[in-house]
Amino acid sequence: MSKIIAIANQKGGVGKTTTCVNLAASLAKANRRILLVDLDPQSNSTVSSGVEKTLACTVKEVLLGETELKEALLETAVGYDLLPASVDLTVAEVRLMQQESREFILRQCLRSVIQDYDFILIDCPPALNILTVNALVAAHSVLIPMPCEYFALEGLTSLLKTIGEINQTVNVDLQIEGVLRTLYDGRNRLTREINQQLSVHFGNKLYTTVIPRNVRVAEAPSFGLPILNYAPRSQGATAYLALAGELLRRQEDAV
Ligand code: ADP
Ligand code: MG
């Protein structure tokens, strides 16, 4: 069965895009068929996948019904397909607000391709706006990247509240896929405290795999490459492969 996972956290700089791109590449490496949907006007996932962010046919045109999803899909050179974004996506955000059933548009659009993939990963913008709501409505589950830093837990309550509201209204089946510790530095005393809190709060939803802060991970996007391609032996590459493995194992255990 194909699974749609939204990668969401309304805070910026927590590792959503990094996780989306590198998890997509790692799952593709494990022979899964992957589509990455870039739903952030900043288009960082698009650029990090080696694609320019000035394309005429993007997720914006798809959401506004100006083009078919299949027309906008790109095959990247790094193992997965991409529905790219551009800065114009902000325009779609405004226009979507004026539409009826505005929460369901992405879900509807993805229907035509869902059978073609094992996983569809959606990179959300850093806001709880209509684009993120569309992602959470289209998704089976949400993966929450969470840096073990001060203030990181701050936005968590509102994210969980939004997920709860979506659960009660437009997507009763939405699950929490998992919480991923990113930008991890185990030497830091604060990290240990936050670890403790996350583990109390999320129990077995907290991934055992942690993503260390690793300079190679930060460098890779400027080459338009996932870490697996840019520095396959780095700590970052190992960590994202481990995350893909953990996600797949959990999926198998669940059925
Ligand atoms: P978001 O999409 O949540 O805004 P990003 O994935 O763009 O966050 O990450 C924010 C910044 O942190 C980027 O510059 C990215 O390269 C860097 N970064 C993310 N994860 C790591 C990591 N594990 N090690 C080092 N830098 C990272
Ligand atoms: Mg991002």
> pLDDT 10s per residue in the chain (255 long)?
799 999 999 999 999 999 999 999 999 999 999 999 999 999 999 999 999 988 989 999 999 999 999 999 999 999 999 999 999 999 999 999 898 899 999 999 999 999 999 999 999 999 999 999 999 999 999 999 999 876 777 778 888 999 999 999 999 999 999 999 999 998 888 888 888 888 988 999 999 999 999 999 999 999 999 999 999 999 999 999 999 999 999 999 887
Residue 229 to residue 35: CA distance in whole angstroms: 18
Ligand number with the minimum distance to the CA of 239: 1
- Number of Cβ within 10 Å of residue 130's Cβ equals 21
Answer whether 236 contacts ligand 1 (Cβ < 6 A). Answer: yes
Answer whether 185 contacts ligand 1 (Cβ < 6 A). Answer: no
The pLDDT of residue 141: 97
The pLDDT of residue 219: 98
Residue 9 to residue 144: CA distance in whole angstroms: 6
Answer whether 171 contacts ligand 1 (Cβ < 6 A). Answer: no
Residue 163 to residue 156: CA distance in whole angstroms: 10
Q: What is the reported pTM?
A: 0.97
Paired residues of 75 in beta bridges: 81
By the 10 Å C-beta count (0-12 exposed, 13-18 middle, 19+ buried), 189 is classed as exposed
